[in-house]
């Protein structure tokens, strides 16, 4: 098979590159695609890109000789881990965590610890499970992402038209997301605005997000991207732990985790960004970050406003600290959105 080049059609606009390959070359494994991207054999408009690159009409995808064969077949071990009937089980599980569904949109309460997409060693992930809901050849598509360790509201487009409309709403900042976090310590101010640009850096423990600007001089690294977050204190316990409401105004990887750490209040359980200071004896060591509420325009008109209950580990911490999750807290005026 020679090197070929494919021009992106209008119907593939805003689709992730890895999903495009999954549709066009289903025999190509995710790990193999990642290797082709890392080595520059797959390119878009002559440039190296990542699996999550969003395609635009007219872009040209370079496709090397794929030599699909036994090396890309599903290993026997993985086949035994996805037994017959798993589609039915996946569908049943998704139904159990569904918060809202109509003909265009599905909203789920993602459990902490469940990856959104596949990767090295990841067999069970949300994107794969969504294929159990496939109807008439049109697969459900994730509109945004949550970290593996973050729980809460995540939206899925059930039709291509709905997915494109929701994706455009996210890009256009029409969507409002409210997160709840338990952090170690208390911010100096009860309300604040964090405006710290972020950059990605490789490290011994894998890639992490860091503040990419010198807070004294304002000088920024070349790969730095703007990142802004609003926060508000809802409650605190003996100045040791604080229940924070967070509203990201941008969507950078690990933005909330990096921002909370940067202001001296790491998220409870987030050792990657808070180190040993992120842990408190007697409390769960899981990350205490939850996507509590999503307010977004519906593709057919009007708005959806969905809330997700806390995961078990955060609910237990709330009970121990005396935080009342039933309290009607709307520190950012989300109730006015769309009215």
Residues labelled catalytic: 147
104, 308, 99, 112: CA torsion to nearest 10: 90
The tokens 């911490």 sit on which residue?
A: 317
- Provide the token pair at 77: 């071990």
CA-closest candidate to residue 198, choices 178, 223, 171: 223
Strand partners, 133: none
The rounded distance, in Å, linking the Cα atoms of 323 and 305 is: 23
Q: What are phi and psi of 7, to 5 degrees?
A: -90, 130
Is 199 in contact with 210 (CB distance < 8 Å)? yes
Local structure of residue 111 (DSSP, 8 states): P
- Contact status, residue 114 vs residue 126, Cβ threshold 8 Å: yes
How distant, in Å, are the alpha carbons of 201, 242, 326 from that of 321? 35, 9, 14
Q: Which two tokens stand for residue 99?
A: 């918060």
Task: Give the other-Cβ count within 10 Å of 151's Cβ.
Answer: 28
Q: Pull the structure tokens for residue 181.
A: 């976090």
Structure tokens belonging to residue 259: 């921002």
Residue 293: CB partners within 8 Å, gap ≥ 6? 153, 176, 177, 178, 305, 306, 307, 308, 334
Q: How far apart are the C-alpha atoms of 257 and 181, rounded to whole Å?
A: 10
Residue 69, helix vs strand vs coil: coil
Distance between CA atoms of residues 334 and 293, nearest Å:
9
Q: Rounded distance, CA 43 to CA 62, Å?
A: 5
């Amino acid at each position: 098979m020679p090197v070929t080049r494919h021009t992106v059609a209008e119907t593939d606009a805003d689709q992730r590159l890895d999903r495009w390959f999954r549709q066009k070359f289903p025999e190509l494994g995710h790990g193999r695609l990642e290797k082709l991207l890392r080595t520059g054999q797959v390119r878009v408009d002559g440039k190296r890109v990542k699996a999550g690159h969003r395609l635009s009409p007219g872009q040209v995808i370079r496709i090397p000789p794929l030599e699909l064969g036994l090396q890309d077949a599903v290993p026997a071990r993985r086949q035994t881990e996805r037994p017959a009937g798993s589609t039915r089980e996946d569908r049943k599980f998704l139904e159990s965590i569904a918060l809202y569904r109509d003909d265009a949109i599905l909203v789920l309460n993602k459990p902490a610890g469940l990856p959104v997409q596949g990767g090295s060693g990841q067999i069970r992930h949300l994107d794969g499970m969504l294929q159990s809901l496939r109807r008439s050849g049109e697969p459900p598509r994730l509109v945004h992402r949550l970290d593996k360790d973050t729980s809460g509201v995540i939206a899925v487009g059930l039709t291509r038209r709905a997915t494109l409309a929701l994706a455009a709403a996210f890009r256009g900042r029409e969507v409002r997301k409210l997160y709840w976090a338990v952090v170690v310590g208390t911010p100096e101010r009860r309300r604040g605005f964090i405006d710290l640009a972020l950059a990605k850096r490789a490290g011994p423990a894998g890639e992490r997000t860091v503040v990419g600007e010198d807070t004294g001089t304002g000088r920024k690294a070349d790969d730095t991207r703007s990142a802004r977050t609003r926060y508000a204190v809802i409650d605190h316990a003996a100045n040791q732990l604080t229940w924070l409401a967070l509203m990201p105004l941008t969507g950078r990887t690990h933005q909330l985790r990096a921002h909370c750490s940067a202001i001296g209040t790491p998220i409870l359980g987030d050792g990657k960004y808070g180190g040993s200071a992120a842990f408190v004896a007697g409390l769960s060591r899981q990350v205490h970050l939850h996507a509590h509420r999503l307010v977004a325009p519906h593709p057919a008109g009007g708005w959806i406003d969905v809330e997700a209950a806390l995961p078990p580990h955060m609910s237990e911490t709330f009970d121990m600290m005396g935080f009342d999750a039933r309290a009607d807290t709307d520190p950012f005026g989300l109730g006015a959105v769309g009215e």
